[in-house]
Amino acid sequence: MAHIDSLTQTLLTAKSTTTHTFASLSTLLGRDEVAIAALFYGAALPSESDLQHLSTALRIPYDELKSGFEKRGFPCRGVGMEMPPKEPLVYRLYEIVMNYGWAYKAVLNEMFGDGIVSAIAFSTNVKKEVEDDGSEWAVITLRGKWLPYKRF
């Protein structure tokens, strides 16, 4: 199971008692759905405005919500994730990195030179596409700043 602290539990429970979805919260907060879920699971930090929207939408008293996030402090992203992931959906993403890792590196180095894609100056989102035959496809976009190695 995901790394679930008591705030995650509070948020998930509150969300399940409203009609809100990650999608509707995304509209409300003006952040991507993955970022909303990341707020829930402790991999992102809320702004003051995020706190107010979440408090209203999920009917969690503002002070309780604020102090919950303060108690977490700065996110320790990744700490609660067992690797390699056993959960099948997450494993598929891991497998893509494993199978195409060198190919991504070769293409990106050719395109940009010696450097990396930032996972910090980074955003991501998820979309659903439906083909004519009714099949559904998930499109995950990763957008990261290119950081060239600094010469020293």
Of residues 99-128, those binding a second copy (CB under 8 A): 99-112, 114-126, 128
19 binds a second copy (CB under 8 A): no
**47 and 36 Cβ atoms separated by less than 8 Å:** no
Single out the catalytic residue among 6, 16, 92, 143.
92
Token pair of 130 as six digits: 């439906």
DSSP classification of residue 110:
H
Of residues 77-96, those binding a second copy (CB under 8 A): 77-96
Of 62 and 100, the one with the shorter C-beta distance to a second copy is 100
Residue 6 Cβ vs a second copy, minimum distance, rounded to whole Å: 13
Q: Active site includes 6?
A: no
Among the listed residues 41, 55, 60, 68, the single contact to a second copy using CB under 8 A: 41
**How far is the first Cα of the chain from the last one, in angstroms, to the nearest whole number?**
43
Q: Which helix (H) or strand (E) holds 118?
A: strand 115-130
57 binds a second copy (CB under 8 A): no
Our CA dihedral for 142, 49, 57, 78, rounded to 10 degrees, sits at: 40
Positions annotated as catalytic residues are 92, 95, 118
